[in-house]
């Protein structure tokens, strides 16, 4: 991995081509050879061995699911809630272009479970629920085997913390924390309006910690190796490594581990380099931002490094738009996905995203399609302004952000398209994979 | 302490009554759902804001005396 930081989470796995479905999980015995039983944060009646919440706070770890919330503060909020807590391991990974959480669940389930149990002990939880999208069958099977291995190793001893594995509905917003909570409380896997936030009243009314899979794997390593170790790589403001899923026009699409702040061109090199001359990169995933490749090349992959480009790391995704593909047409297909993935609860999301997607499609139309209605670009901008920030969750905001970035980065194409002269890429076969949308909410 | 109008976007069904009752702070988007002015409600307009909230058929509009926790 030229230019990439030290492999930490993936140290046991070496190079990981994606998909790596044939590869086995690291067993509990192998895992314990590398990671002896983690130091418990507290034991009954004993003084705390380590104060995990303080340790995590000092490490600077932030959530790797997309929102990048400081993990220490999240733990602290839950530990101060009323009554015994619940820990949800969020392995829904609804971002279509991301595969890193599934990789961890499939190959390193015990590192993730270590993290979940440490977090549970730190916030006083008696129950851990590992939530995995039900279509991620390999990840589900691997984690179920891992939980069974631990039960067998305990040889009948009553576990201090119960671990359940839950197969969640295969919907994008089902991975939103309040949606997971509502689903675990026997409702639909749709976001709820705050308050109360899950940290206050979540599963069965208990304070609930919802933590991304990768975040918990980092937490397990920090508990073992310390906060200073964690800060030895990454940037002072955003320490540590991060997992990235790199796809599109690269030679070896892959999940890679890199120090936060690694320049994007090094990340692309780790994935075998660009194929041809991709005009733009989609950074952060479908919930991300188009950036011209030339502008992105030297940018450090971090919140601070991407901010000047108007982009964010999101869940750690880089997609290279193949040379010759039409960014507007690809965006229109993703907009249709956003509209179809709406939970349909909030008016601006339910109706607005459908109109945005139809408008984007009419602009991206192939040569033989109907001409875009005049004023379409202005109309799309007005709708984007009206939709932004008006959902109970951030689903509509993601759609708006993506469309705005496409209109900015592909501005020349946009003018041509609107005047009825679409580029030839618009009638080419789709370049980026957009998944089918399932209908189940329970 | 400031008072804001807070909308529960899930509960809102787009009846549009609020925009009729308090157009200075509430307008409708292209789909008929309310867009609320972000500024706090001044004291001399609180009665109108309360009137709009109390008449929401979906009970989706409320007055909050501080920004909602989210």
All domains in chain B, ordered by first residue:
4-64 (3.30.70.20)
Residue B28 host element (H or E): strand B26-28
CB distance B9–A383 less than 8 Å?
no
Per-residue confidence in pLDDT tens, chain A, 442 aa: 334 456 889 886 754 444 444 568 999 999 998 888 866 554 554 445 569 999 999 999 999 998 899 999 999 999 988 889 999 999 999 999 999 999 999 999 999 999 999 999 999 999 999 999 999 999 999 999 999 999 999 887 888 899 999 999 999 999 999 999 999 999 999 999 878 899 999 999 999 999 999 999 999 999 999 999 999 999 999 999 999 999 999 999 999 999 999 999 999 999 999 999 999 999 999 999 999 999 999 999 999 999 999 999 999 999 999 999 999 999 999 999 999 999 999 999 999 999 999 999 999 986 666 667 778 899 999 999 999 999 999 999 999 999 999 999 999 999 889 888 888 888 889 999 999 999 899 9
**Would you give the end-to-end CA distance of chain B in angstroms?**
17
The structure tokens listed for A308 are 């000047």
CB contact under 8 A, B9 and A345: yes
Q: Which residues of A touch B31 (CB under 8 A)?
A: 347-348, 351-352, 355
Characterize the bridge pairing of strands A280-283 and A289-292. antiparallel
Nearest CA in chain B to A386: B29
Q: What is the dihedral of CA A402, A403, A407, A410, to 10 degrees?
A: 60
**Residues carrying CATH 1.20.1440.230, chain A:** 327-427
Contact A347 B70 (CB under 8 A): no
pLDDT at B70: 44
Are A355 and B41 in contact by the 8 Å Cβ rule? The answer is no
Cis peptide bond prior to A283, omega within 30° of 0: no
Q: Which of A419, A383, A352, A337 is nearest to A172 (CA)?
A: A337
Question: Which residues of chain A does CATH 3.40.50.11540 include?
Answer: 28-230
Beta bridge partners of B6: B62
In chain B, the percentage of residues whose pLDDT exceeds 90 is 87
Contacts of A383 in chain B (CB under 8 A): 30
Instruction: Tell me what percent of the residues of chain A surpass a pLDDT of 70.
Output: 92
Q: Which CATH class is domain A28-230?
A: alpha beta
Segment B15-29, tens digit of pLDDT? 999 999 999 999 999
The third-level CATH classification (topology) of the domain covering A241-320 is Ubiquitin-like (UB roll) (3.10.20)
**Nearest-angstrom CA–CA distance, A180 and A189:** 6
Predicted ipTM of the assembly: 0.92
CATH node for A327-427: 1.20.1440.230
pLDDT for B62 beyond 50? yes
Which residue ranges does chain A devote to CATH 3.10.20.600?
241-320
Spatial contact of A94 and A190, defined as CB atoms under 8 Å apart: no
**Residues 6 or more apart in contact with residue A265 via CB below 8 angstroms:** A3, A297, A298
């Amino acid at each position: 991995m030229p230019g990439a930081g030290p492999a930490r989470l993936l140290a046991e796995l070496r190079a990981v081509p994606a998909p790596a479905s044939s590869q086995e999980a690291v067993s509990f015995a192998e895992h314990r050879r590398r990671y002896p039983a983690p130091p418990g944060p507290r034991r009954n009646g004993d003084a705390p061995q380590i104060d995990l919440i303080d340790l995590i706070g000092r490490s600077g770890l932030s959530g790797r699911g997309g929102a990048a919330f400081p993990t220490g503060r999240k733990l602290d909020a839950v530990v101060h809630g009323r009554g015994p807590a619940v820990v949800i391991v969020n392995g829904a990974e609804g971002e279509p272009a991301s595969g890193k959480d599934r990789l961890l669940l499939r190959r390193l389930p015990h590192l993730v479970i270590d993290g979940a149990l440490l977090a549970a002990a730190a916030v006083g939880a008696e129950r851990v629920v590992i939530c995995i999208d039900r279509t991620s069958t390999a990840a589900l099977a691997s984690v179920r085997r891992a939980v069974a291995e631990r039960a067998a190793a305990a040889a009948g001893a009553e576990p201090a913390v119960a671990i359940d594995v839950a197969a969640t509905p295969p919907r994008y917003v089902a991975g939103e924390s309040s949606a997971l909570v509502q689903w675990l409380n026997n409702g639909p896997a749709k976001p709820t309006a705050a308050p109360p936030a899950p940290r206050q009243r979540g599963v069965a009314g208990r304070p609930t910690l919802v933590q991304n899979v990768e975040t918990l794997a980092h937490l397990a390593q920090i508990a073992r190796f310390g906060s200073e170790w964690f800060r030895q790589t990454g940037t002072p403001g955003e320490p540590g490594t991060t997992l990235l899923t790199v796809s599109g026009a690269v030679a070896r699409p892959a999940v890679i581990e890199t120090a936060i702040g690694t320049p994007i061109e090094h990340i692309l090199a780790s994935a075998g380099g660009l194929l041809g001359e991709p005009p733009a990169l989609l950074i952060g995933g479908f919930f991300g931002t188009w950036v011209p490749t030339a502008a992105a090349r030297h940018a450090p992959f971090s919140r601070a490094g991407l901010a000047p480009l108007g982009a964010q790391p999101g869940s750690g995704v880089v997609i290279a738009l193949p040379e010759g593909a039409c960014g507007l047409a690809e965006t229109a297909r993703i907009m249709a996905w956003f509209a179809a993935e709406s939970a349909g609860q909030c008016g601006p999301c339910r109706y607005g995203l459908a109109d945005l997607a139809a408008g984007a499609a009419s602009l991206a139309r192939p040569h033989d399609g109907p001409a875009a209605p005049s004023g379409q670009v202005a109309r799309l901008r007005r709708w984007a302004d009206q939709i932004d920030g008006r959902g109970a969750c951030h689903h509509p905001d993601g759609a708006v952000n993506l469309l705005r970035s496409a209109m900015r980065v592909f501005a020349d194409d946009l003018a041509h398209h609107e005047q009825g002269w679409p580029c030839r890429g618009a009638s080419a076969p789709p370049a980026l994979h957009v998944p089918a949308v399932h209908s189940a909410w329970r | 302490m400031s008072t804001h109008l807070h909308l529960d976007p899930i509960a809102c069904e787009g009846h549009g009554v609020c925009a009729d009752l308090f157009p200075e702070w509430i307008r409708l988007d292209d789909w008929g759902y309310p867009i609320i002015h972000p500024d706090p409600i001044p004291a001399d307009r609180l009665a109108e804001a309360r009137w709009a909230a109390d008449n929401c058929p979906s009970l989706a509009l409320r007055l909050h005396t501080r920004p909602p926790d989210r």
